[in-house]
Amino acid sequence: MTHSNFSMSFLVNKSPEKVFDTVLDVRRWWTGLYDETIEGRSDILNESFTFRAGGGAHYSKHKLIEAIPHAKVTWETTDAALSFVQRKTEWTGTKMSFTISKKDNKTQLTFTHEGLVPEMECYDSCSGAWSQYLREKLMTVLSKD
């Protein structure tokens, strides 16, 4: 039996251009909840950045593999070390994409973590953390800009 990838969608009162630029600037929204640090570039195609949280307990490295202006951003996780699960590298090879589209007079943002499925040991913790980062951080940043 296969399950769906973790995914969430939001409607925002911002232009697709603004949403795209904000998503690419991970330091603005993928920090501030769990003692996170980000190093590297998240906004240049084929460049990589690292994310560390919880004093380094969670580490992941991501490469920007797709950047369609005002429409889509995709990072591939090229390395991971999750301290809170048995299989530390569960995220390695997964992809995180943000699809941006106009819907009526708003912009729809859909986040999908391809490969983050309920069969993974980290699914509950990771999907919960994504929900927090997306709702409490990314949406807050977008609402203030």
Q: How many domains does the chain have?
A: 1
53 part of a folded domain = yes
111 part of a folded domain = yes
Q: Higher confidence at residue 54 or residue 132?
A: 132
CATH number for 19: 3.30.530.20
**CB 9, CB 130: distance < 8 Å:** no
Element spanning 127, H or E: helix 123-132
Above 80 in pLDDT, residue 56? no
| Boundaries of domain holding 115 | 6-144
49 part of a folded domain = yes
**CB 94, CB 115: distance < 8 Å:** yes
pLDDT tens for each residue of 4-42: 899 999 999 999 999 999 999 999 999 877 788 999 999
Calculate the alpha carbon distances from 128 to 66, 104, 113, 135 in Å: 25, 29, 12, 11
pLDDT tens for each residue of 79-95: 999 988 889 999 999 99
pLDDT score at 35: 80
1 part of a folded domain = no
pLDDT score at 58: 85
